[in-house]
């Protein structure tokens, strides 16, 4: 992809972000999920970069307690019609964008309004996050939250948990997703980090947010060769492009702690 084309994408995205409209307080309140504070801590990336130390310090931040739902995303669509299925530009979402919805403003009877919205691109997730005054979590932030157990901040070293997680990663997509907060919350009070959907992060692939997919996931330079779930996450993320939309891929929002 040429530098000129990449520049056009981000200039256009910047123009799009300026068009995001204000929503009335009632509907914005529906779309604005409760957040919890995640205290600062250390996260160990699967791969070291440029000779950096294994551990990475993560500043305190806030994160949504659950993924964005179909009902919430519908409020965003109504306020920002350029993100409807019929109007969204193809550089921001591919042909499967919101394909499980019946129409632009009707998810349909087969889509649970309380289930996580899926078939949404990174661009759409980023725009939604900005609309509610938040942002997408970084990968380090997401992993810091995800490593918590039920009663401790982690990392979770339970072999049975890892086995179940690998089984879920490899399973076929269910016909209908469960509603958010169906499972127990973790130490931080956050639900469904695993077992429901995969989630976008701001830097899901730092070489890839310009829309150029780079598939990888080799073990060279890995910090923990036994962390098979992390390898599966890394391989999945590295094969995404920013306009990808999949039936098991949604998002939640984060915010800086001031």
d(CA 224, CA 108): 44
% residues pLDDT > 90 (the chain)? 45
Spatial separation of the C-alpha atoms in residues 212 and 201, rounded to whole Å: 16
Among 46-55, 111-120, 238-247, the least confident range: 46-55
Q: What is the mean pLDDT of residues 188-212?
A: 76
Most confident of 11-15, 69-73, 205-209, 240-244: 69-73
Give the mean model confidence (pLDDT) for residues 156-161.
66
207 by DSSP, 3-state: which? coil
Q: Cis omega before residue 190 (within 30°)? A: no
Least confident segment among 14-18, 62-66, 80-84, 114-118: 14-18
pTM for this prediction: 0.78
At 242, phi and psi to the nearest 5? -65, -20
> Are 223 and 47 within 8 A, CB to CB?
yes
Question: Which of 74, 73, 69, 44 shows the shortest CA–CA distance to 58?
Answer: 44
Neighbours of 34 (CB within 10 A): 9
Query: Does 215 sit behind a cis peptide bond, omega within 30 degrees of 0 on the bond before it?
Result: no
Q: Are residues 13 and 55 in contact, defined by beta-carbon separation less than 8 angstroms?
A: no
Residue 111 has pLDDT above 90, yes or no: yes
Distance CA 118, CA 101 (A): 10
Cα separation of 210 and 242, whole Å?
Answer: 7
* Domains of the chain: residue spans and CATH: 3-256 (3.90.1580.10)
Closest to 1 (Cα-Cα) out of 213, 181, 193, 195 = 213
- Per DSSP bridges, beta strands 41-43 and 198-199 are unpaired
- The mean pLDDT value of the chain amounts to 78
Lowest mean pLDDT among 2-6, 200-204, 215-219, 226-230: 215-219
Torsion of CA 221, 224, 229, 235, to 10 degrees: 0
Inform me whether the pLDDT recorded for 19 exceeds 50.
no
């Amino acid at each position: 992809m040429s530098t000129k084309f990449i520049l056009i994408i981000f200039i256009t995205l910047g123009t799009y972000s300026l068009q995001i409209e204000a929503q009335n307080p009632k509907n914005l309140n529906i779309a604005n999920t409760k957040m919890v504070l995640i205290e600062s801590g250390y996260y160990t990336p699967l791969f070291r970069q440029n000779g950096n130390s294994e551990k990475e310090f993560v500043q305190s931040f806030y994160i949504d307690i659950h993924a964005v739902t179909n009902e919430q995303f519908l409020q965003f669509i109504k306020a920002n019609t350029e993100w409807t299925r019929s109007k969204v530009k193809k550089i921001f979402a591919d042909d499967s964008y919101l394909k499980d919805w019946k129409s632009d403003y009707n998810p349909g009877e087969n889509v649970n309004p309380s289930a996580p919205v899926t078939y949404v691109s990174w661009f759409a997730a980023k725009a939604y996050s900005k609309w509610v005054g938040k942002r997408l979590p970084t990968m380090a932030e997401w992993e810091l939250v995800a490593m918590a157990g039920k009663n401790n901040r982690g990392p979770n070293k339970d072999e049975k948990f890892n086995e179940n997680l690998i089984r879920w990663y490899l399973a076929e997509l269910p016909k209908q997703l469960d509603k958010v907060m169906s499972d127990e919350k973790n130490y931080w009070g956050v639900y469904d980090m695993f077992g429901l959907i995969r989630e976008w992060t701001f830097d899901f692939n730092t070489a890839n947010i310009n829309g150029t997919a780079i598939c990888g996931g080799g073990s060279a330079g890995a910090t923990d060769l036994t962390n098979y779930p992390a390898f599966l996450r890394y391989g999945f993320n590295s094969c995404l492009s920013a306009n990808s939309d999949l039936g098991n891929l949604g998002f939640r929002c984060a915010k800086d702690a001031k």
